[in-house]
Amino acid sequence: MAAIIHRQVHGATMVRCAAAVGVLTLLEIGSAPALAAGQAGTRPTAPATTAVADTGTFTYEVGGVRVIQRMAEGEIAVANLYLLGGVRQVTFENAGIELLLLEASERGTKAYPKERLRRQMSRLGTGIVVGVGPDWTTYGIRATRTTFDSTWAIFASRLMQPTLDSAEVEVVRQQYLLGVSQRQDSPDALLEYRADSVGFSGHAYAIPPAGTERSLASITLADLKKYSVEQMVKSRMLLVVVGDIPRAKVERLVGQSLARLPAGSYAWTLPDTLPRSNVSPDVVDRALPTNYILGRYAGPKAGTKDYYALRITTAVLSGQLFGEIRSRRNLAYAVDAPFIDRAVAAGGLYVTTVQPELTVDLMRQQLAGLRTGTIDEGALARLVQQFLTQFYLDNESNADQADFLAKSYLYDGDIRAVERFEQQLRSVTPQDIQRVAQRYIREVRWTYIGDAKKAPLRSFDRY
């Protein structure tokens, strides 16, 4: 199983489950007593697998920097440095500062002036990537075995010795201000942004990791330099390397660079639970061909039994919504119940429709079926199998493996949590689905973009 298990990774922050719709729409929900009588012994046995110890994955420290390494055959090598804390390291006033700092470092460092840096990266044909999220910022290398050392030299120089020329910083700032302003042009992008603000109001997750127009415009050059000195510390760093790179080489590269940074006093912890309370829907009046609706609700902490159960529950609900609202009623082009994969998980209810009130009421009916009925055990087993199969196929890259190893370590405190992922999903029962639907999919915080006169406020209140 190790050959398959270690290709497992979490998907994007919002994990949509449309790939499993073919199975999901066949699930049967009914009253618990009625189904119980006809389903005894119907749950199929999971395909036999043999757990094999993964001797190619190990963890160690180099000068105070925690390293997780997985040996993987092939020419491609990935190194992801996770700068822990995410939005808990910033405020609304300086949101986006880490992204701005790391992207501006591409414009030149002490050892690699701008033009030299660009020529060298072009010659190597490798990449250095930056990604921001609610729990950490990812700063990573995409290289080959033969170009890994040379790419690392630039990677480390950008992190440790950015020039931060005022004119170059301003160019990067304007690029990101333009990107942030374009949220207004895409209903889906605006919906996601506002839904986070409403859904996580009162929690750090309400802070946009990429910043706002106001925060990005207000960050000064002095702010960037101060942040670089205070926040680029070893205690915030988790390095994950996946590829055919000898451990001795990783230790040497880290020892010559990251290990020389200040230790700092950061300590990783899972965030507090998300807020739960009913708030007024956020309604944005727009003349659009359809209406965009997204509700957010608080989920469990990562690594818990309920976390895995909610992941499957959202897959089940996605299929039910698709089958009833799109396939049977033709009321929507897109409908989903996304699972939002974070240190504290969350979920959502999403739809685009020209008949908001009817559609939101139908969504509530499908949710009520999950809360009061019991999923057929055989259909649930098939769903989990298809979910896992698609999950493996979609997440085979070294970069994805690095992400999952990081999450296993940060969420569960153990890189071996990778091996438990499939087992945890297969252990979800119909009763678990009913329980988490009752416990978590409530007190939904809604965002609506479209014809304000059609906003189904009374239907929202029924959740």
- pLDDT 10s digits, 121-178: 999 999 999 999 999 999 999 999 999 999 999 999 999 999 999 999 999 999 999 9
3-state secondary structure of 139: strand
Model pLDDT, residue 55: 67
Task: Tell me which of 216-220, 254-258, 391-395 is least confident.
Answer: 391-395
Whether domain 65-260 has CATH 3.30.830.10: the reply is yes
Model pLDDT, residue 27: 43
Report whether pLDDT(206) > 70: yes
Among residues of the chain, what percentage have pLDDT more than 90?
A: 79
Q: How far is CA 87 from CA 90, 203, 361, 461, in A?
A: 5, 10, 35, 30
Model pLDDT, residue 334: 96
Report whether pLDDT(58) > 80: yes
Task: Tell me which of 6-15, 92-101, 305-314 is least confident.
Answer: 6-15
Model pLDDT, residue 393: 84
Report whether pLDDT(377) > 60: yes
Task: Tell me which of 118-132, 154-168, 179-193, 416-430 is least confident.
Answer: 416-430
pTM: 0.87
Model pLDDT, residue 180: 93
Tokens of 237: 């760093």
Task: Please write the tens of the pLDDT for every residue from 432-454.
Answer: 999 999 999 999 999 999 999 99
More confident residue, 250 or 15: 250
Report whether pLDDT(10) > 50: no
Phi, psi of 209 (to 5 degrees): -60, -35
User: Can 2-41+274-461 and 65-260 be said to share one CATH topology?
Assistant: yes
Model pLDDT, residue 54: 60
3-state secondary structure of 279: coil
Model pLDDT, residue 160: 98
* Average pLDDT across the chain, whole number: 88
CA-CA distance, 320 to 335, in Å (whole number)?
10
More confident residue, 21 or 354: 354
DSSP class per residue in 12-71: SSEE--GGGHHHHTT--EEEHHHHHHH-TT-SPPPPP------TTEEEEEETTEEEEEEE
What DSSP element (H or E) covers 3? helix 2-5
C-alpha angle 137-140-146 in degrees, rounded to nearest 5: 170
DSSP class per residue in 243-270: ES--HHHHHHHHHTTGGGS--------P
What is the layout of strands, in order, in the sheet containing 76-84?
A: 57-62, 65-71, 237-243, 76-84, 136-144, 127-132
Mean pLDDT on 217-245: 98
Confidence of residue 279 (pLDDT cuts 50, 70, 90): confident
Level-2 CATH architecture, domain 2-41+274-461? 2-Layer Sandwich (3.30)
Q: Across 279-389, where does the E strand assignment appear?
A: 282-285, 291-301, 332-336, 339-340, 344-353, 373-375
Q: Residue with structure tokens 């974070």? A: 342
Report whether pLDDT(245) > 60: yes
Structural domain boundaries in the chain? 2-41+274-461, 65-260
Counting Cβ atoms within 10 Å, is residue 454 exposed (0-12), middle (13-18) or buried (19+)?
middle
Model pLDDT, residue 272: 86
Task: Please write the tens of the pLDDT for every residue from 60-74.
Answer: 999 999 999 999 999
